[in-house]
Structure 1
Amino acid sequence: MKAMRNLALEAWMREHGYSANALAEAVNQAVDRLRGRPGSHDGASVRAWKSGRIRWPHAVTRLALEEVTGLPITDLGFVPRGRVAPAPAASEQEESDMKRRTLVGGIAAVAAAAAPGSSTRRIGMGDVHRLQHRFAEIIASDHRHGGQLGIEQKAAALADEALNLQNSGSASQRVRANLYASAAAFRSSAMWAAIDGGRYDIAKAHMREAQALAEMSGDQAIKFRIWSHTGTMYRHLGRPADALAANDVARSLHITRRDPLFACLGHARHAATLGLTGDDRGVKRLLGCARDSFESADPDVVRPVWMTPVRDGAELETLSLAAHLRLGNYPQAEAHAHRSLTLLAPQMLRDRAINTARLAQAQLGQGAEEAAVTAAKQIPVDAATRHARVSRTLRQFTTALGSLAPDSTAARAWDDHTATSRRTAPSET
């Protein structure tokens, strides 16, 4: 018997703009969230569902399809095994009429579910995926600019948008959990932008809301991010005891046992905080643990977009640089600075500026004034004048240079450079 096409699935894909490959990718990601490893579907799998050759996918695939679409599996046109399929049409005309009625009905149902203000609106994973796309845009802005008030405000607004979706229609428990996770992710980015910009009181307010949303979501990855950022915030505030306590919360989450890359980040951030306490032995031990975890992590596991610098190894080098710089281990700090600058992706402009400033500090700590000034002058003017952490690091560099070699050629060259930078700095408008 000829397989009947799954017109309901085709209608949903058409309405929501999914190609076969895009739906396969979304299902694979949903499978990963359900069982801890991604699915293996591809465009051919989806075409088999559409053609009717596969009428009832495996259980985990069915759950993943329901998560992606927000619809029961039978509403997507799939038929349980053992159930009698609809009888074939008596003629080609009848078959054509039936297909047209099914297609129009499917599109109408999807459109009704998506209509704003409709009492039957169904919130699905398609809505979550759109939010996740916006989250990736926030992360990209942070990597390029970092700490800007505009990024903080946009992230906070998107957190509110994710929460508003909760009240705009019906949704499965899984979708609601993902909406809370999205809201927590946006709020954590607002928190991080405030930390990065030195707006610590505002960062604490974002932190409290982000932590509450993360608890409602149950998402381990976003819980880790928030508590890890909390540790960083207290580290920047010069409160190492609070920073270490927050880091311990992040490091105790079971995601660090399931995925060594999270353990790597937790160990490295803890080491950076221990640098404030002068614990040289503790720093070296934790950085060794971080390195071991990094080397044992599976690079092919699908992780949140904000973990990309960790996966690339750049974040481990950055945090190692910060830890050794605080300890006054300048040769080690310089080595980590060079490695971090090699590993940082081109779009990581904020981190490149900060690590270049730290490189200059490490070289100055070894008495290499000329090399230090040469490095510091490579930092773009807008980052040097508008980014809080870069500006603070360069002020520290200027003070140290003035103390160590106030009348040197390097110091005069740096004074000339900073004076020119102030004149040519972009305005805040």
Structure 2
Amino acid sequence: MNGGKVPERNQELAAQITDAGMTIPEVADAISERVQDLTGKEFDYTERSVRRLLCGATSWPHAPVRLALESLFETSAVDLGFTPRSGSSRTPSGGVTSAFDRPFLHEQEGSVRRRDLFDIAGGALFSIIVPSLPRRGRIGQSDLVRLRDPLTQLFTADDAAGGVALAQEAVWHADRLLEARKRYEMSVAVSDALHGLAGQYKAAAGWFAIDADDLTLAGQVLPEALKLAALAGDNLLTVQVWNYMAMRARQAGEGGEIHQISRTALRSTAARQHPRAAALFHCRAAYGRAWRGERRQALRSLQRAHDVLGNACDEDVPTWLGFVNRAQLFAQETLVHSLLGQWNEAVESAQSDLRLIPGAYHRNRVHGLIHLAKANLGARSPEIAADAATSAVHEISSLSGSLRAGRAAARLRKLRGRMETWRPVPEVARWLDFYDTSLSAA
């Protein structure tokens, strides 16, 4: 009962529906589809229910419908004219709830568990507020500055705990930008910048997919990112995507593709202008040449990488190139020496890498320790390999996915297979039991 008070028509929602050129049946169908996508369950939102929203009879929709409306009109429920009930959670004005918030809401309603959709180290929930798009008309540079904020937050989460489960969120942001391109007027400069930002989201999705060991998704989004970089005329984004493509190729065992990518990248304007980019692709070239069995050329490429990095300065470094440092070069050296069967050299490079990696860089340390363990197995030092592998298992608990999912987890599984042949060594046998127990408890 409302004490006889007559509900007021929701003018804000009505205006949004009119601006979108939608009919009431179309709105009902759109809500049904979005709720079904969110919950994974069949849902039928009726035209009568939409009319109740419009006439004000429903002042604060249930969470799934509210999220569907925010997604449909790309603004908050409050800005759609709804009034939160006392004690209800709400999104701050000017934002919409992202996919990271949805699991939390649905967990409360019993339809989706948060960790099924987003597994960050320790089970913590990561929330991100999506800046709203203008209600109508025109997109400007200031809008793109706001729309870049989620990308920064995604990389902050990636730096802290790895990229497992972040890829689909990055894809969502990219697709949202590309859809906006069809709905708004914008200048040529803003259009180029929008393509570039969408490309950065797609590139990020590719990187997150690689870190999640989802090479299929990475193979889908990286070519899209490359196309967007070309449309934006962004040479630096182009080489960033090439780098991720090379990483995907290495994980997939496609050394020939790495060789071709590195050759192309080293001829690019970005590589000529940014020594760190050149050093990175000299490393990629070294791996490609090692895969082809070209030992001398591979070692020469490694030396060129060190020489070029010596010319790099710390000023005006593009964010994504910040990881290219001496530690990274030693990490790449380890891979090249291992591919060439130069195990003692691989051990030395891995040790140099680990000495230079800051303690807070958990993902880098996990991979460095795995590289060191593999190199020591090749050098027939299984006891030392077991010690490095033990440290890797302890370190991986800081990453999303932990021992169950992701690139680091996949590498540890492969390492376990190699360690099995050394089971008669007591230290190795203890590590195998420790790994299996840790995996069961993960």
Normalised by the shorter chain, which TM-score bucket? 0.5 to 0.7
Quote the residue 1:392 is aligned against.
Answer: 410
**Aligned twin of 1:124:** 140
Q: What SS does the corresponding residue of 1:378 show, helix, strand or coil?
A: helix
Q: Tell me the distance in 1 between the aligned counterparts of 2:250 and 2:204.
A: 18
SS at match of 1:163: helix
Residue 350 of structure 1, aligned match among 363, 373, 387: 363
CA-to-partner distance for each residue in 1:249-285, whole Å, 9 max, x for gaps?
2222111111211111111122123332332212211
Q: Measure the CA separation in 1 of the matches of 2:342 and 2:133.
A: 61
SS at match of 2:322: helix
1:339 aligns with 2:352: yes
2:222 aligned residue: 207
How much has 1:216 moved relative to structure 2? 0.5
1:134 alignment counterpart: 150
Matches within 5 A, 1:11-410: 116-119=134-137, 121=138, 123-148=139-164, 150-303=165-318, 305-310=319-324, 312-379=325-392, 380=394, 381-382=396-397, 385-403=403-421, 405-410=422-427
Of residues 399, 418, 422 in structure 1, which corresponds to 2:435?
Answer: 418
In 1, are the aligned partners of 2:161 and 2:363 still within 8 Å (CA)?
yes
The separation in 1 between residues aligned to 2:409 and 2:425, in whole angstroms, is: 22
1:287-307, Cα deviation, whole Å (9 max, x unpaired): 11111110011221241x221
**Bigger radius of gyration:** 1
The alpha-carbon deviation at position 357 of structure 1 amounts to 0.8
Identity %: 26
Aligned AA for 1:307? L
Letter in 2 for 1:153: Q
TM-score with structure 2 setting the length: 0.64
List per-residue Cα deviations over 1:91-110 (Å, max 9, x = no partner).
xxxxxxxxxxxxxxxxxxxx
d(CA) in 2 for partners of 1:117, 1:285? 56
Mapped to 2, the partners of 1:293 and 1:340 lie a distance apart of 18
Give the Cα–Cα distance (whole angstroms) in 2 for the partners of residues 205 and 115 of structure 1: 27
Distance 1:345 1:132, change over 3 A: farther
Distance 1:325 1:208 in 2: 30
Gaps of 5+ in 1: 1-113
- Amino acid in structure 2 at the alignment position of 1:177: D
TM-superposed deviation, 1:410: 1.1
Q: How much has 1:168 moved relative to structure 2?
A: 4.7
For 2:441, give the aligned amino acid.
T
**C-alpha distance in 1, partners of 2:441/2:150?**
33
Superposition CA RMSD, Å = 2.2
Encode CA deviations 1:17-64: one digit per residue, 9 max, x unaligned. xxxxxxxxxxxxxxxxxxxxxxxxxxxxxxxxxxxxxxxxxxxxxxxx
CA-to-aligned-CA distance 1:309-366 (integer Å, 9 cap, x gap): 11x4332222122111222222222222222223334443222211111111112222
Task: Evaluate the alpha carbon distance shift between residue 140 and residue 330 of structure 1 in structure 2; reply closer, same or farther with a 3 A threshold.
Answer: farther
Which structure shows the higher helix fraction?
Answer: 1
Partners of 1:295 and 1:353 in 2: CA distance: 26
Aligned residues: 306
Shift of 1:231: 2.1
Aligned-residue offset at 1:387: 4.0
SS of 1:386 mapped into structure 2: coil
